[in-house]
């Protein structure tokens, strides 16, 4: 992994479901150990694009795809790269927290166990570091056996992050992770994301522009299935190149 | 006119009518339960023995069962009295018009003898005679002595039963050979060698069973010695062999506590005992056992297949014409009359599969069928088909309660479909599966029609599970509570006397089914509550 | 990076694929099972509609002039009696054994075999009339089974020499022979009994005797007559009935059971005649019960000893037909032109014909269900002993010669009748209850009623049937007037009370909570019930002379069965109410509440909102509910089995019982021999039931799914 080669990249990606085309020739990239934000109005295809990277779209009815999706320069649909292996490498956190109806511990070690880790000490170690990286350790360390469903919404979402981190992925896909959270929980989550960005590449979907400005190093703007503009967050917000972008970030539509 | 219109528009009458329909429906089920509980609940209570002196001077002793208007003399009443003593009086019941009763009393010295044969005996004990003692009814230790003797006779009977069981076991090889010989002869084959074997086996059996047969004779002799001399209300004495007595009680002399003991004892006998007098007396244990075993076998077949089907429909299949066909098939399985399954079970399981097994493995005994006739396995499989939709529907409900987001979460972590299913979805859906299994069991426990053609019998000589290898006899016929109700209530020669027994069986079955359904309802409610609590 | 080992991953993926395959297979199994169930049932009952086949077998035989022939019961050998008195027995392979007829002086002048083939009557060269018994002897030896036909002389009868022998019958010990006479026929019997003359007015050209030789049928060229030749009148046979004939008969035979006489003529027509009651009380007449046309003169008619079939030889063309089924089962094809004799095997598994030259032609007959055909199952059939075609289910005839009557119509009608009465009661009741619970009652009531109704559905039907038969049926019988009264009085009381209630001042009315309203209705119902059953006797006395059942019989000719459709309607209704209620309640609850609130906001009362919005919107669901209830009522077994009396009568009266298809299967299938006609008919009944419920269920499912779509759109 050399310095500035993109970790995630799509080239002229077309995606659709049945007869509707959702993404219309998107070429976008996410650089290593940085947070890239994907913004755009609801329904423009942000989640669909995100799901291309860990192939979650493959399970949806009518899904089709043209163009390339690359993970560290390698096509994610490469038959030599099994779906499961890809997902060990690319973690995902959903819009709505989706902890398993298991204990906190079982939630976190779920991924490592799938990967075949059986040693109890390794699992305990992973459990602790993942929860620490997700900023949840202090809050739950005394009740790891409790059902994950009993946590608060923000805690559940950070648990989902910890769960994704436990498989030590290189990439983390976050799909509007804070949209269901209150401001305090959101702040905490953003803090977590910023800390994580030091180690993993993060692709963050959000329609909260302030959030993008706060946490993302780079920002890409999607509109009606097309990439309108992509660039360093600072210049993106201060001097958008496209008129559409300017209208969007000044809140004239969206 | 407009008054009528506004009356109709206001709708009070309509609302009340629909409300009446609700009450009527609830009243029906309530009435059913009350009647069953009333009749069955009071049947085992020791009722007072009443002695009636009639106008013609004759006397009757018995239990009053019914009172109703006398159809021949309007305005007067008559009672139905159970007089027992079948071998003397012919019929168990007598109708007595109130007007013809001169006096009525409840004698404290009247005894009720429940017997293994001929039903109940009502009378006044005179004395107890046995080989070593003689006890007058007036003596203070009479009751204790009688109880002693009854218990001793019970022990002898146990020994008798044990001896017979041993003899049966000794006879088993002979019976097997005999069946082979018969089969060979019926098929027109040579059977000389087999016949020689049979003769040898018979010789060995005779040798081994000789001491047993001798002891059996002794036991018989001993059991016949103790006799209770009873005086009947209508005059005359009757000697009752004590070994024929199951229970002897003087109901009128009993305290409430003692009555309660008798009551519970009778219930226990009913639940745990063998039937007597072609099912009209004694217990229903074989029927309970047969029902339970059949239902268990059915569960083993129906639950796995039902769960797999539900998982397939819900987790694996996409919505297409094929799954639509599967769903239609399921809907029809659920709606097809149970007797159609019975016809299929008989034609396919019994005759085709069972007949095939017989030709392959039991051809020795042909034309006497082994599996090619109704049996517990075929009945269970038939019912499994019937209850499959119940399991599928409940399991599907369980599976549908698992939020899709949770599945996505697992898949995104790199779990395969199966890992997702096994580690996340199935544990989540367990209450649903359990609900399905319970409902299936409840349905199967009450279903009778398909069993009538696939292997249920009114009286099974042997249980489908016993101590002779291979212990579980899947080819055997079995007894079933539901069929017991039909059979005793309709086919027995003495329906009137057996009716309360049937009510008791109905009560047991009803309690079983209601408890199972309540459990299912509770479980389902828990599932629904959890579904509401979880992130959807 | 994850510590993932590729081997581990490979294993997970493999397991996943295997499990997916297994689950897909298992899931498809249900479809396979249902399809198989249908196909299997169909395959089980289809063979019955096939008529039958006759497969020609090797022609064997010796050359001598044949007079008579008989076949053993196992269809192994045919014995041919020659004019020279020889008995040639040929087996399948053509091996012949030659014997001679013991005690006969050759050449024989004539010979006749009895219809079951157990007696042989001959006139030999001496002119003596002698009878032999013929029986199949089976011996078990070291080499297995040996079968032989034993022909032993049993009697010499005082026959008029050279009179034509028409028939022989009776037992081997005392056989009777029917001989042609100038004005009819003579019946001679053994043991010195006097000959009886049967006067016809013309010489008999054909005749037959019943098995016990107590009835004789004679045909002259112009008339048919039947005589009783029992012991009552030793000198002459008593004429029972006669009928004129249009054409001279060429063959005559009695169908098994000796009730029907078959007559064949030169035009090829075979007519069936039966004795029936005449117009005058006590008189008997001959009735033409059926015709079997064909081409070619009828030479002989052979009778099956197993069923009501017969074989007709029309100038060499042989057909096997069934009497009551009125159909030709098998076209055997051409028999030898010079066949002197055609016979059916005793087990109805073969056919043989013997030529004048003694050659034996044989066929294997494969007609397992001769009595069945689509028309027998569904159309009226004139059975023996019936004066007109009728729809009857009577699966066992009582005796061997009495054929089973297998019309499915009484069962189908009984099924529909039971379902109809059940729906008449349960339909309105359950729909109304669902309406109340979903539209008028607070949700607390719903939380109570729903589980209770679920429990109601769980009550085993054997319990319901038991109580219906042994508790409700006697009660209804005793209080039939009260029961009928209830149907009017209950609603009337409720409506009347509601009318009174509505005139009360507003505050009173509004003060009534649901609970007290229900209590009030319950009180009304109880009062109405008490009213019905106290007025019961009084009304019966005033209107029906104290005996409703007697009145019913006298006034309408309707009998009263204790276990009748009213009881069944009630009991089946009990089983069906929960089904209809649950589905109907779902349908009502699925009507979007916004629709109803909209209606209420426009000023409609709750009832008006229910009538104009809820009921129309839910109506497809209500239909589906009724269809499901109908399906259940049609297929319910134990309740009808116990509460109907189970008699297959064809009556729609509410006071008669019935037998339904389901109950019929339940009681008769265990006894029906596997593969037999009854078995197949019962399986067909099961299949019909399946089809009926398939239609109702599918209709309900289709309607329900439409409904779901409609509200899916509304809710969106
Ligand atoms: N499974 C699917 N089938 C069909 N269309 C879909 C599916 N998922 C998403 N879409 C369509 O794709 C478009 C983009 O959806 P999505 O990526 O979820 O948007 P965003 O996340 O930007 O709000 C939407 O118009 C949506 O209707
Ligand atoms: Mg989205």
Distance CA C629, CA B27 (A): 20
Quote the mean pLDDT of chain A: 88
- Identify all chain A residues contacting C3, using CB atoms and an 8 Å cutoff: 112, 115-117, 122
| Spacing, Cα A180 to ligand 2 middle (Å) | 13
Q: Which of A236-240, B72-76, B425-429 has the lowest mean pLDDT?
A: B72-76
Residue of C nearest to B68 (CA): C478
DSSP codes joined into one string, B61-86: EEEEEEEEE-SSSTT-EEEEEE---H
A56, A92, A110, A166: best to mutate for the B interface, most B CBs within 10 A:
A110
| Spacing, Cα A40 to ligand 2 middle (Å) | 10
Is residue C716's pLDDT more than 50?
Answer: no
Structural domains in chain B, CATH included, are 36-130+227-268 (no CATH), 135-225 (no CATH), 285-462+475-535 (1.10.3720.10)
Distance CA B342, CA B290 (A): 18
Is residue C196's pLDDT more than 70?
Answer: yes
Q: Do C433 and B21 touch (CB under 8 A)?
A: yes
Pocket mutation for ligand 1, best pick of A15, A22, A59 (most atoms within 8 Å of C-beta): A22
Question: Is the CB of residue A137 below 6 angstroms from any atom belonging to ligand 1?
Answer: no
What average pLDDT score do residues B265-284 get? 83
Q: Residue B531: its pLDDT value, please?
A: 56
pLDDT 10s digits, B62-113: 888 888 888 777 778 888 888 888 888 877 888 888 888 888 888 888 888 8
> How close, in Å, is residue A97 to chain B by CA atoms?
8
Is residue C711's pLDDT more than 80?
Answer: no
Q: Residue C715 — very low, low, confident or very high, per pLDDT cuts 50/70/90?
A: very low
Question: Is the CB of residue A44 below 6 angstroms from any atom belonging to ligand 1?
Answer: yes
Q: Residue C191: its pLDDT value, please?
A: 64
pLDDT 10s digits, C22-66: 999 988 888 888 889 889 999 988 888 887 888 888 877 766 788
- Identify all chain C residues contacting A84, using CB atoms and an 8 Å cutoff: 9, 12-13
| A171-175 and A201-205 strand pairing | parallel
HEC readout, C413-447: HHHHHHHHHHHHHHHHHHHHHHHHHHHHCCHHHHH
| Spacing, Cα A80 to ligand 1 middle (Å) | 29
Domain A8-95+172-249 bears CATH identifier 3.40.50.300: yes
Distances (CA, A) of C705 to A82, B317, C624, C702, C713: 40, 19, 10, 5, 12
Q: Cα C681–C684–C688 angle (5° rounding)?
A: 140
pLDDT 10s digits, A20-42: 999 998 999 898 888 999 998 88
Written as six digits, the tokens of B499 are 């009716």
- Identify all chain A residues contacting C2, using CB atoms and an 8 Å cutoff: 88-89, 111-112, 115, 167-169
Is residue C519's pLDDT more than 60?
Answer: yes
E-state strands within C85-164 = 86-91, 96-100, 110-113, 119-123, 129-141, 144-157
| B134-136 and A171-175 strand pairing | unpaired
Q: Do C5 and A167 touch (CB under 8 A)?
A: no
pLDDT 10s digits, C611-639: 888 888 888 888 889 998 999 899 899 99
Query: Widest CA span of chain C, in angstroms?
Result: 120
Alpha carbons within 13 A on the beta-carbon side of B339: 34
What average pLDDT score do residues C496-512 get? 77
C14 touching chain A per CB within 8 A: no
Domain regions of chain C by residue span: 54-373, 409-715
Q: Residue B362: its pLDDT value, please?
A: 76
Q: Nearest C-alpha to atom 24 of ligand 1 is from which residue?
A: A43
CATH superfamily of the domain spanning C409-715 = MetI-like (1.10.3720.10)
B529 touching chain A per CB within 8 A: no
- Identify all chain B residues contacting A156, using CB atoms and an 8 Å cutoff: 535
Q: Bridge partners of A204?
A: A37, A174
Is residue B294's pLDDT more than 80?
Answer: yes
Q: Residue A2: its pLDDT value, please?
A: 41
Facing C4 at nearest CB: one of A116, A122, A170: A116
Where does C54-373 sit in CATH, by number?
Answer: 2.130.10.10
Quote the mean pLDDT of chain B: 84
Q: Which of A95-104, A245-254, B503-512, C128-137 has the lowest mean pLDDT?
A: A245-254
Q: Bridge partners of C381?
A: C390
pLDDT 10s digits, A178-230: 887 888 888 888 988 888 888 899 999 988 888 899 999 899 999 998 999 99
Q: Residue C2: its pLDDT value, please?
A: 42
Q: Residue A55 — very low, low, confident or very high, per pLDDT cuts 50/70/90?
A: very high
Question: Is the CB of residue A17 below 6 angstroms from any atom belonging to ligand 1?
Answer: yes
Question: Is the CB of residue A47 below 6 angstroms from any atom belonging to ligand 1?
Answer: yes
Q: Do B405 and A100 touch (CB under 8 A)?
A: no
Q: Nearest C-alpha to atom 14 of ligand 1 is from which residue?
A: A45
Facing A98 at nearest CB: one of B409, B428, B533: B409
What average pLDDT score do residues B454-465 get? 77
What is the value of pTM for the model shown? 0.86
| Spacing, Cα A45 to ligand 1 middle (Å) | 6
Q: What percent of chain C has pLDDT over 90?
A: 14
Q: Residue B206 — very low, low, confident or very high, per pLDDT cuts 50/70/90?
A: confident
pLDDT 10s digits, C648-699: 888 888 888 889 999 999 989 988 888 888 899 999 999 999 999 888 888 8
pLDDT 10s digits, C408-421: 999 999 999 999 99
Residues C155 and C190: beta-carbon distance below 8 Å: yes
What average pLDDT score do residues C167-174 get? 86
Protein residues placing their CB within 5 Å of the ion ligand 2: A 47
Q: Cα C355–C314–C92 angle (5° rounding)?
A: 35
pLDDT 10s digits, C581-621: 998 998 888 888 888 888 888 877 888 888 888 888 888 88
Q: Do C495 and B417 touch (CB under 8 A)?
A: no
Q: Residue C337: its pLDDT value, please?
A: 65
Q: Residue C1: its pLDDT value, please?
A: 39
Distance CA C336, CA C359 (A): 9
Is residue C78's pLDDT more than 80?
Answer: yes
Q: How many Cβ atoms from other residues are within 10 Å of residue B405's Cβ?
A: 17
Is residue B130's pLDDT more than 60?
Answer: yes
B32 touching chain C per CB within 8 A: yes
- Identify all chain C residues contacting A88, using CB atoms and an 8 Å cutoff: 2, 4
B408 touching chain A per CB within 8 A: yes
Q: What percent of chain C has pLDDT over 70?
A: 94
Q: Enter the ipTM.
A: 0.90
Residues B243 and B153: beta-carbon distance below 8 Å: yes
Alpha carbons within 13 A on the beta-carbon side of B283: 15
Chain-centre distance for alpha carbon B357? 30
Exposed/middle/buried for A132, CB within 10 Å: 0-12, 13-18, 19+?
middle
Question: Is the CB of residue A177 below 6 angstroms from any atom belonging to ligand 1?
Answer: no
Pocket mutation for ligand 1, best pick of A19, A23, A43 (most atoms within 8 Å of C-beta): A43
Q: Do C9 and A168 touch (CB under 8 A)?
A: no
Q: Residue C62: its pLDDT value, please?
A: 67
Distance CA B10, CA C611 (A): 12
Q: Which atom of ligand 1 is nearest to the CA of A62?
A: 3
C95-103 LR contacts (CB < 8 Å, sep 24+):
C96/C60, C96/C61, C96/C62, C98/C62, C101/C132, C101/C151, C102/C132, C102/C151, C102/C152, C102/C153, C103/C130, C103/C132, C103/C153
Q: Residue A159: its pLDDT value, please?
A: 92
What average pLDDT score do residues A150-174 get? 90
Q: Nearest C-alpha to atom 1 of ligand 1 is from which residue?
A: A60
Q: Which of A148-157, C240-249, C340-349, C705-714 has the lowest mean pLDDT?
A: C705-714
- Among the listed residues C362, C439, C374, the one whose alpha carbon sits nearest the alpha carbon of residue C406: C374
Quote the mean pLDDT of chain C: 84
Q: Residue C221 — very low, low, confident or very high, per pLDDT cuts 50/70/90?
A: confident
- Identify all chain C residues contacting A117, using CB atoms and an 8 Å cutoff: 3
pLDDT 10s digits, C264-300: 988 889 999 988 888 887 788 888 888 898 888 888 8
Q: Residue C419: its pLDDT value, please?
A: 92
Q: Residue C347: its pLDDT value, please?
A: 87
| Spacing, Cα A48 to ligand 1 middle (Å) | 6
Q: Do B22 and C463 touch (CB under 8 A)?
A: no
Written as six digits, the tokens of B446 are 């009450």
pLDDT 10s digits, C365-390: 888 888 888 888 898 888 888 888 88
- Residue predicted with more confidence, C397 or B161: B161
Residue of B nearest to C660 (CA): B339
| Spacing, Cα A224 to ligand 1 middle (Å) | 11
């Amino acid at each position: 992994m050399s310095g500035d080669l993109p970790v995630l990249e799509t080239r002229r990606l077309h995606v659709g479901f049945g007869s509707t085309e959702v993404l219309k020739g998107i070429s976008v990239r996410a650089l290593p150990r940085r947070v890239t934000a994907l913004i755009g109005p609801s329904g423009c295809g942000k989640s669909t694009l995100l799901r291309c990277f860990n192939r979650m779209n493959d399970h949806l009815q009518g899904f089709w795809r043209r163009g390339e999706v690359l993970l560290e320069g390698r096509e994610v649909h490469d038959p030599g790269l099994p779906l499961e292996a890809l997902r060990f490498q690319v973690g995902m956190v959903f819009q709505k927290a989706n902890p398993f109806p298991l204990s906190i511990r079982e939630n976190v070690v779920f991924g490592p166990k799938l990967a075949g880790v059986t040693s109890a000490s390794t699992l305990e170690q992973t459990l602790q570091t993942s929860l620490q990286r997700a900023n949840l350790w202090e809050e739950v360390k005394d009740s790891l056996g409790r059902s994950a469903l009993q946590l608060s919404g923000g805690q559940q979402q950070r648990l989902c992050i910890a769960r994704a981190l436990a498989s030590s992925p290189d990439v983390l896909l976050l799909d509007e992770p804070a949209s269901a959270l209150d401001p305090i929980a959101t702040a905490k989550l953003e803090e977590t994301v910023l800390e994580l960005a030091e180690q993993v590449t993060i692709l963050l979907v959000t329609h909260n522009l302030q959030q993008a400005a706060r946490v993302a190093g780079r920002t890409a703007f999607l509109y009606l299935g097309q990439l309108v503009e992509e660039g360093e967050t600072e210049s993106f917000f201060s001097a958008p190149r496209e008129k559409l972008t300017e209208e969007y970030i000044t809140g004239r539509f969206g | 006119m407009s008054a009528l219109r506004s009356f109709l528009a206001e709708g009070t009458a309509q609302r009340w009518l629909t409300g009446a329909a609700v009450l009527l429906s609830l009243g029906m089920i309530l009435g059913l339960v009350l009647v069953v509980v009333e009749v069955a609940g009071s049947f085992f209570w020791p009722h007072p023995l009443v002695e009636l002196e009639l106008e013609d001077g004759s006397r009757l002793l018995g239990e009053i069962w019914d009172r109703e208007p006398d159809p021949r003399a309007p305005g007067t009443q008559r009672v139905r009295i159970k007089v027992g003593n079948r071998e003397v009086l012919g019929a168990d019941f007598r109708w007595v018009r109130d007007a013809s009763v001169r006096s009525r009393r409840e004698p404290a010295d009247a005894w009720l003898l429940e017997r293994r044969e001929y039903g109940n005996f009502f009378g006044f004990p005179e004395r107890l005679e046995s080989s070593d003692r003689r006890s007058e009814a007036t003596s203070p230790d009479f009751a204790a002595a009688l109880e002693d003797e009854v218990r001793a006779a019970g022990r002898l009977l146990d020994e008798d039963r044990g001896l017979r069981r041993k003899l049966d076991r000794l006879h088993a090889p002979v019976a097997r050979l005999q069946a082979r010989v018969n089969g060979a002869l019926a098929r027109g084959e040579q059977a000389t060698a087999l016949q020689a074997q049979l003769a040898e086996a018979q010789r060995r059996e005779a040798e081994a069973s000789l001491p047993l047969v001798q002891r059996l004779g002794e036991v018989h002799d001993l059991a016949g010695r103790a006799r209770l001399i009873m005086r009947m209300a209508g005059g005359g004495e009757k000697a009752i062999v004590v070994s024929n007595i199951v229970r002897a009680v003087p109901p009128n002399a009993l305290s409430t506590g003692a009555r309660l003991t008798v009551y519970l004892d009778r219930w226990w006998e009913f639940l745990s005992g063998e039937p007597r007098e072609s099912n009209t007396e004694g217990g229903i244990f074989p029927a309970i056992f047969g029902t339970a075993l059949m239902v268990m076998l059915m569960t083993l077949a129906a639950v796995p297949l039902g769960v797999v089907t539900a998982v397939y429909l819900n987790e694996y299949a996409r919505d297409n014409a094929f799954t639509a066909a599967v769903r239609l098939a399921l809907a029809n399985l659920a709606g097809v009359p149970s007797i159609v399954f019975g016809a299929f079970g008989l034609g396919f399981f019994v005759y085709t599969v069972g007949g095939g097994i017989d030709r392959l493995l039991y051809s020795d005994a042909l034309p006497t069928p082994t599996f090619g006739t109704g049996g517990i396995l075929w009945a269970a499989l038939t019912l499994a088909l019937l209850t499959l939709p119940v399991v599928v529907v409940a399991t599907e409900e369980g599976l549908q309660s698992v939020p899709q987001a949770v599945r996505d979460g697992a898949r995104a972590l790199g779990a395969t479909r199966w890992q997702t299913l096994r580690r996340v979805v199935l544990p989540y859906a367990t209450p649903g599966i359990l609900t399905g299994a319970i409902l299936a069991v409840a349905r199967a426990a009450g279903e009778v029609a398909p069993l009538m053609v696939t292997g249920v019998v009114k009286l099974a000589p042997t249980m489908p599970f016993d101590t002779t290898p291979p212990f579980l006899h899947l080819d055997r016929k079995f007894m079933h509570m539901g069929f017991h109700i039909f059979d005793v209530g309709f086919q027995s020669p003495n329906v009137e006397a057996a009716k309360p027994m049937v009510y008791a069986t109905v009560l047991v079955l009803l309690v079983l089914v209601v408890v199972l359904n309540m459990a299912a309802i509770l479980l389902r409610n828990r599932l629904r509550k959890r579904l509401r609590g979880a992130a959807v | 990076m994850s510590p993932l080992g590729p081997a581990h991953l490979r294993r997970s993926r493999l397991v996943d694929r295997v499990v997916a395959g297994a689950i897909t297979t298992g899931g498809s199994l249900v479809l396979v099972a249902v399809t198989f169930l249908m196909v299997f049932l169909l395959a089980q009952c289809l063979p019955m509609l096939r008529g039958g086949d006759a497969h020609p077998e090797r022609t064997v035989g010796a050359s001598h002039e044949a007079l008579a022939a008989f076949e053993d019961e196992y269809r192994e050998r045919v014995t041919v009696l020659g004019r020279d008195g020889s008995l040639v027995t040929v087996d399948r392979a053509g091996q012949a054994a030659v014997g001679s007829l013991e005690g006969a002086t050759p050449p024989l002048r004539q010979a006749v075999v009895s219809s079951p083939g157990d007696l042989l009557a001959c006139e030999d060269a001496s002119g003596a009339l002698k009878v032999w018994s013929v029986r199949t002897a089976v011996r078990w030896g070291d080499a297995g089974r040996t079968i032989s036909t034993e022909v032993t002389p049993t009697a010499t009868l005082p026959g008029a020499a050279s009179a034509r022998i028409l028939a022989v019958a009776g037992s081997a010990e005392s056989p009777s022979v029917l001989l042609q006479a100038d004005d009819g026929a003579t019946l001679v019997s053994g043991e010195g009994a006097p000959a009886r003359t049967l006067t016809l007015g013309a010489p008999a050209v054909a005749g037959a005797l019943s098995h016990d030789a107590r009835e004789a049928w004679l045909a002259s060229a112009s008339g048919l007559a039947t005589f009783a030749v029992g012991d009552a009148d030793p000198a002459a046979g008593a004429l029972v009935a006669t009928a004129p004939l249009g054409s001279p008969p060429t063959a005559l035979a009695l169908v098994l059971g000796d009730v029907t006489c078959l007559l064949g003529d030169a035009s090829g027509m075979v007519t069936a005649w039966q004795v029936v009651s005449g117009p005058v009380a006590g008189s008997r007449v001959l009735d033409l019960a059926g015709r079997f046309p064909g081409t070619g003169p009828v030479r002989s008619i052979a009778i099956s000893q197993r069923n009501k079939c017969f074989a007709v030889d029309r100038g060499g063309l042989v057909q096997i037909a069934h009497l009551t089924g009125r159909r030709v089962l098998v076209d055997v094809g051409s028999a030898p032109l010079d066949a002197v004799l055609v016979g059916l095997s005793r087990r109805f598994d073969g056919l043989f014909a013997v030529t004048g030259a003694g050659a034996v032609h044989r066929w294997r007959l494969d007609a397992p269900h001769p009595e069945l055909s689509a028309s027998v199952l569904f159309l009226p059939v004139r059975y023996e002993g019936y004066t007109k075609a009728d729809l009857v289910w009577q699966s066992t005839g009582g005796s061997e010669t009495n054929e089973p009557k297998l019309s499915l119509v009484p069962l189908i009608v009984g099924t529909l009748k039971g379902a109809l009465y059940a729906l008449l009661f349960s339909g309105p009741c359950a729909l109304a209850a669902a309406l109340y619970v979903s539209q008028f009652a607070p949700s607390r009531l719903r939380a109570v009623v729903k589980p209770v109704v679920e429990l109601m559905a769980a009550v085993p039907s054997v319990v319901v049937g038991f109580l219906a038969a042994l508790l409700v049926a006697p009660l209804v019988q005793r209080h039939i007037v009260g029961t009928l009264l209830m149907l009017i009085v209950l609603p009337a009381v409720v409506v009347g009370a509601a009318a009174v209630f509505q005139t009360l001042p507003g505050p009173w009315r509004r003060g009534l909570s649901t609970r007290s309203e229900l209590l009030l209705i319950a009180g009304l119902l109880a009062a109405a019930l008490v009213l019905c059953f106290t007025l019961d006797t009084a009304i019966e006395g005033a209107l029906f002379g104290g005996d409703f059942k007697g009145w019913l019989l006298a006034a309408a000719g309707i009998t009263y069965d204790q276990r009748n459709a009213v009881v069944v309607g009630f009991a089946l209704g009990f089983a069906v109410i929960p089904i209809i209620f649950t589905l109907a309640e779902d349908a009502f609850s699925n009507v979007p509440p916004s629709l109803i609130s909209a209606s209420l906001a426009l000023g409609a009362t709750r009832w008006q909102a229910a009538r104009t919005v809820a009921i129309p919107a839910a109506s497809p669901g209500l239909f589906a509910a009724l269809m499901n209830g109908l399906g259940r009522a049609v297929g319910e077994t134990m309740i009808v089995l116990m509460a109907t009396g189970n008699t297959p009568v064809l009556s729609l009266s509410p006071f008669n019982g019935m037998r339904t298809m389901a109950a019929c299967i339940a009681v008769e299938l265990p006894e029906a021999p596997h593969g037999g006609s009854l078995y197949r008919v019962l399986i067909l009944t099961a299949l019909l039931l399946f089809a009926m419920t398939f239609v109702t269920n599918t209709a309900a499912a289709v309607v329900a799914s439409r409904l779901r779509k409609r509200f899916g759109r509304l809710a969106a």
